[in-house]
A and B are shown apart, each in its own frame.
Chain A
């Protein structure tokens, strides 16, 4: 079958690009423990810069200087900057904290690149390749000089990296830093410098991949680079995040597999065209489920892991009684003011915006349960919400059941899906679980949403507003009050769970799965419960969103529930405070209000307002390293400490023995 061989060979150049990114991911993970989800975005930076430099309407540079600036200068500079400004300070942070920071960058970087005054947000045609893209035939195979260059560069890079690691002093130091940064420092090596170098090198790989891959896409969009990231992640997971040769092989295999799928499968079949674009996600998901040996050993091997002070524990703060009282009174007072404002002040526009914010707050409470309480990073919360919304719409449409009942059933359907998703969580933990949920979220969007069984017919389904106890919630003011009441209800449930047996067990599991298991609690069961409850809340909120919009279908999905929006949700809630209700509510309200205030009050253009708010939400995650408990919670704690100090030391207080036990202990 010469055809098959030819198809396979045609996949090699793309495979080489996957391999380059995968190697970069492995390199950064090995040297700094960061699973860099922003790697695709870094490739996008170089690609966009290269495009702008070559664009005849902007700079019109020839190839060589454009490559030098975008790959050899800009990419390492970006890597150096990320290391200096962020990751260096995170070296001893838990892997999940590093993941959250890179997630923030994944959200923010493409938005920054797309800003008009930087590289332009208008549709960018693919830039010209590094070498000629005219078809040439080598040994009877249709290829181009550009593709040959891609392959040669990739192979040379891998060989160079191998030589660097095995033959040079710097490579030796890099390998040592992997084992134990502190020990390496004690041996007189500047671990910071070695770390910086690793970041610059891996970023160079990202830039190289970005510039090489750009001509292969029809247009330059950040979404394609996200796809590139997923493919590379699949290759990196294949390599268990440690083996560079395996990452290279995995990348090539994936490129070849993709080309084969495109060439051999019938082109007129929806399933096979879908299959091609989804292959990397499916491979990633499948690997995470079945590839043996994927466990987190981060920090376990470093004999000096304990010398650095442990990061502040997210919950290591006991709230004084008066704070609880104050919180409740404030919440009550706020609710009264809010109800009055709803009834009297807001006009239709702000009513709509605030309703959206309240519904999102409710959905964000799902993040509070799974991330805040259980400590599991789930990146598919938007999919759960969408499932609830789709189910609600279809149930109302097909059976004519009451919309509130449909919402509850929708929540149950989402809960079942959540429990199913948690099954890989039984085996995976930390970053691998986050990756599995990410792969699922992307597959949901690309495979399940287009299916009629999931999203219903192509037209939008009508979803009525609920009718309850004689009140028709078609009135927007009444509906906002209903949403507020439901938010309060769900918040109450979340608090009850948090303070109950389940919440305590989840909080315990968050810091020590082994400790929890040694007490006879099944961590698998706890995770399933956390995911199911969380998905139920998200699904219920999704149904509420559908009835708010009065319709549900692919358009509403695109506007509210895409996986990318879901990423922003999680980043935002984690940044503000994943463990508390105020964190989720602040998140929900700021998600909509921030953009609208920029747009309507400050007069910023709609696209810019959208970008700026996403950039800020993304960059907000960078504070996570310092405040893992979240910004809202950090401020609350600061307030409590301030007041407590005043109370403990009244101004006229003479120095007295504060602790009667202390002198007794100090006795020799």
Chain B
């Protein structure tokens, strides 16, 4: 069943058409890859879908409902989570605190009155949930470290954990492997597959690493200059001459 459907999304910046009539769909539990050269509009599309930007035209449907002008945090409450290309971690907070904030946000728990009564205590069930996600992402040893001291790859995993603990129906991953080497990428791909296997979650990811995309995605959508130039099963699309010209820079 279709979870997310974007129809005719168009976004202009001061006369430049960043997205031109883009369609994108994602079924439940599906992993869709969004690829395209730099400046193709991938992050802009993410921003339009998650509510950071308002598209100039087009509709975004989630579970059949039109998201309209819903703000970022309202879409998040519907079950749309994301990670960021330029990481948006919370400076000075530990890994565990990142997940705790996300968990409490998801459960709408806490607030001023409970702050004054609970005196900052963390409930055992909260600790369990956080530890479960940390264990799955292999972050248990880093749990009490401030994120400022983490490597790029670990930081990306923290963002992933922060997104997953909110039990989303759909996660947008914006270049989860950029800046990682081959080995690290393979590790994150494996972690991602494991996390996906035991959750009822769909993933849309932007990525340049074709190998990783081939491993993860059943279907890809290719953007070039703000337009969808191809979409379909991963292997078919990656063989498409137009795609190879635009994206892989292959001239035949």
Contact = CB atoms under 8 A, between A and B. Distances in A.
Interface in B221-247: none
Contact of B101 (A508, A517, A533): A508
A519 interface: yes
Contacts of A523: 73
Interface residues of B, number: 46
B247 to A, nearest CB: 21
A518 B94 contact: no
A511 B110 contact: no
A2 interface: no
B171 to A, nearest CB: 10
A501 B107 CA distance: 12
Contacts of B119: 496, 499-500
Given A499-B119, A517-B76, A519-B105, A504 B92 contact: no
B173 interface: no
A511 B90 contact: yes
Given A500-B114, A529-B112, A514 B88 contact: yes
B93 A314 contact: no
Contact of A314 (B71, B89, B92): B92
Nearest to A493: B116
Contacts of B52: 514
Given A508-B93, A515-B84, A520 B166 contact: yes
Interface in A489-526: 493, 496-497, 499-505, 507-508, 510-512, 514-523
Contacts of B82: 518
Interface in B81-103: 81-82, 84, 86, 88-94, 97-98, 100-102
B72 A500 contact: no
Contacts of A316: 91-92, 146, 148-149
Nearest to A503: B115
A521 B74 CA distance: 8
B146 A502 contact: no
B196 interface: no
Contacts of A501: 101, 104, 109-111, 114-115
A519 B84 contact: no
B100 A504 contact: yes
A517 B72 contact: yes
A519 B76 contact: yes
B112 A533 contact: yes
B88 A515 contact: yes
B89 A497 contact: no
B245 to A, nearest CB: 26
B29 interface: no
Nearest to B104: A501
A318 interface: yes
Given A501-B114, A519-B166, A315 B91 contact: yes
Nearest to A501: B110
A504 B105 CA distance: 11
Contact of A521 (B73, B144, B148): B73
Contacts of A516: 73, 90, 101, 105
B77 interface: yes
Nearest to A306: B86
B101 A520 contact: no
A656 interface: no
A313 interface: yes
A510 B162 CA distance: 17
Interface string B129-171: 0000000000001001110110000000000001100100000
B249 interface: no
B54 interface: no
Given A501-B111, A515-B88, A517-B71, A496 B116 contact: yes
A317 interface: yes
Nearest to B86: A306
A500 B118 contact: yes
A320 to B, nearest CB: 11
The interface centre, meaning the residue of A315, A501, A507 with most chain B CB atoms within 10 A of its CB, is: A501
Contacts of A315: 91-93, 146
Contacts of B93: 315, 504, 507-508
A530 to B, nearest CB: 11
A317 B112 contact: no
Contacts of B15: none
B118 A518 contact: no
Contacts of A510: 90-91
A508 B102 CA distance: 10
Nearest to B118: A500
Nearest to B149: A316
Contact of A520 (B106, B110, B116): B106
A518 B72 contact: yes
Contact of B97 (A504, A511, A515, A521): A504
A519 B72 CA distance: 9
A313 B92 CA distance: 6
Contacts of A318: 94, 144-146
A184 to B, nearest CB: 22
Contact of A502 (B73, B102, B111): B111
10 contacts: A306-B86, A318-B94, A499-B115, A499-B120, A501-B101, A505-B101, A511-B92, A517-B73, A518-B163, A520-B74
Closest 5 CB pairs of A and B: A315-B92, A501-B110, A500-B115, A499-B120, A313-B91
Given A504-B93, A515-B84, A521-B73, 11 more contacts: A314-B91, A493-B116, A496-B116, A500-B115, A501-B104, A508-B93, A508-B101, A510-B90, A519-B166, A520-B77, A520-B106
Interface of B: 50, 52, 71-74, 76-77, 81-82, 84, 86, 88-94, 97-98, 100-102, 104-106, 109-112, 114-116, 118-120, 141, 144-146, 148-149, 162-163, 166
